[in-house]
């Protein structure tokens, strides 16, 4: 998602690499990841909840450590 937003909001920034078939590959990867997460949550809710807690904790730590710009 961040690649799509950054390429749209700041297209003039220099890029260290070019994504082949942009925006196709990132969108396909995002859909596959979402489907995999939903399947995990349906078939193994315990592991799905662990992933949610890890993501929420990582996001919280990132927000706390982020320096104001």
Paired tokens of 66: 């982020």
Q: In sequence order, what DSSP letters do the residues of 10-64 get, joined into one string?
A: -TTS--SS--TTTTHHHHHHHHHHHHHHHHHHHH-HHHHHHHHHHHHHHHHHHHH
Question: pLDDT tens digits for 39-69?
Answer: 998 999 999 899 889 989 998 888 887 656 5
Chain segment 10-30, per-residue pLDDT in tens = 888 888 888 888 889 999 999
Q: What is the pLDDT of residue 53?
A: 94
Dihedral angle at the C-alpha atoms of 45, 48, 53, 58, nearest 10 degrees? Answer: 180
* Positive/negative CA dihedral, 31, 35, 40, 41: positive
């Amino acid at each position: 998602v961040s690649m799509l937003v950054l390429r749209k909001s700041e297209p003039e920034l220099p890029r260290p690499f070019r994504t082949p078939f942009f925006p196709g590959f990132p969108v396909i990867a995002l859909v596959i990841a979402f489907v995999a997460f939903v399947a995990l949550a349906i078939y193994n809710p315990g592991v799905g909840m662990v992933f949610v807690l890890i993501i929420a904790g990582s996001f919280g730590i990132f927000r706390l450590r982020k320096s104001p710009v």
